[in-house]
Structure 1
């Protein structure tokens, strides 16, 4: 009978089962009393496997319960073990992003919330995505102290700075979405560059929208870039070179091409626009790869 079936038996029958089990245990102890040195203590396996979105992490329950106010600390507390539903043995499935979970594990193992650039992941991750994941797992974070600025900032500068940060974050999200969409082709096929072109008009909304290779992501990406249809041109006009340097410094393998041009209309007149092309390069430098790969550690241990 499965252990869970005990909870369905009448109380008196359950007591009988306990009494019989207790009698058998007492009998076994008496038989072994003369040779107690052969009795080995029972070791409870504290190890668990978390399958997070298909990526498996092996750790100990005590790693999580050391932080009882977090979601996983509460989940694996002894008092809540009846609520657990392992998929097999000590393996538990959590339907979240397995790449982002590296940051969560970093907190449990070090007690510190890592910065975005302190963990190497296979796909680009934005600060907004990281904050959302930390909030989901109830990871505590120290709020930064409010420092009075030494220099007054003009409200116009604040607005532009805020919009520019949001624009960069939107482009990072699009790059991440494109990589995940074509991940298999990108890894298996050589010479398989992935690219997207966005065209921003000076006084018109976004009109041209091209993804190569073609995919069904158009609606999803349009939703991300929609807030910048009318201001994308202004942001690129003032900061195209700065944005390009940002992406080149923070994400390797990105080819950025931003061209300002004029388009002459059929009924007369002219409108200025920016063609923004972002390509994920399929080149792979083995030397650079080994610097950030798990094989580096294995090579160091073996040699």
Structure 2
């Protein structure tokens, strides 16, 4: 490979998420999919788009693990090495990542260890922080309350379990923040009911959080209420409307 090729930077657009790396980083592993694609001999076959990006229609959030392999030669798994950086919007399951490793032809061994208490604690922290961020979504939607229902994931009857969780009133930002926790929101709310409520009220003095278990169908209801009314006159003071008068 020429010196120019080794220092050539390329942009990979993976499912809409962009990553930048060196061609030589990928070709260092010639037996993998990307290592083969970006060999000099294949330049005539692989072309960048008009934005000088190479688009790959795969899981964009999971690709950070793929690129980590090319950079350091390590196969990493969720909740082990990246858990402290995970956010509720980008949580990747082992099953999702396994499929990506297989697609990119990266050799791997499935870890045979269960998540530790430290890993589970970070999962709980992510859930509580997502709930706390929802309080800001409530305010930005000019609302003062929100009811969140997490249904028992073990119920197999679709008629009794119409969905995994419901946000009422529906606020898109809040729904997206809680989506990664749809499979564990019910159990987390049952196991850590008092701790979650205490965390929420301690974080925001004007926020109250009540968690209750409901039967038929079996679900947990998290009611968040902000004791801070919408002051229309105060808002108008800072609005462009005021400047027009």
Partner of 2:56: 94
Partner of 2:91: 125
Partners of 1:145 and 1:203 in 2: how far apart? 28
Partner of 1:293: none
More relative contact order, 1 or 2 (CA 8 Å, 6+ apart)? 2
Is the CA contact (8 Å cut-off) linking 2:149 and 2:221 kept in structure 1? yes
User: Given the alignment of the two structures, is residue 47 of structure 1 paired with residue 9 of structure 2, yes or no?
Assistant: yes
Identify if the C-alpha distance between structure 1 residues 135 and 199 changes in structure 2 by more than 3 Å, giving closer, same or farther.
Answer: same
Task: Note the residue ranges of structure 2 that are not aligned, 5 or more in a row.
Answer: 115-119, 196-202, 225-245
Identify if the C-alpha distance between structure 1 residues 190 and 114 changes in structure 2 by more than 3 Å, giving closer, same or farther.
Answer: farther
Is the CA contact (8 Å cut-off) linking 2:161 and 2:217 kept in structure 1? no
Is the CA contact (8 Å cut-off) linking 1:51 and 1:92 kept in structure 2? yes
**Structure 1 residue 256: deviation in Å?**
9.1
**Structure 1 residue 130: deviation in Å?**
2.2
CA RMSD of aligned residues (A): 5.3
Partner of 2:190: 240
Q: 2:107 aligns with which of 128, 140, 145?
A: 140
Identify if the C-alpha distance between structure 1 residues 74 and 124 changes in structure 2 by more than 3 Å, giving closer, same or farther.
Answer: same
Identify if the C-alpha distance between structure 1 residues 261 and 86 changes in structure 2 by more than 3 Å, giving closer, same or farther.
Answer: closer
Higher CA-based Rg: 1
Task: Note the residue ranges of structure 1 that are not aligned, 5 or more in a row.
Answer: 1-40, 147-160, 162-167, 246-252, 263-270, 280-303
- TM-score, scaled relative to structure 1: 0.43
Q: 2:161 aligns with which of 200, 206, 218?
A: 206
- TM-score, scaled relative to structure 2: 0.51
Partners of 2:156 and 2:110 in 1: how far apart? 40
Higher share of residues assigned helix: 1
Partner of 1:35: none
Residues matched between the structures, number: 181
**Structure 1 residue 106: deviation in Å?**
1.0
Partners of 2:147 and 2:32 in 1: how far apart? 40
Partner of 2:199: none
Partner secondary structure for residue 126 of structure 1: coil
Partners of 1:92 and 1:67 in 2: how far apart? 18
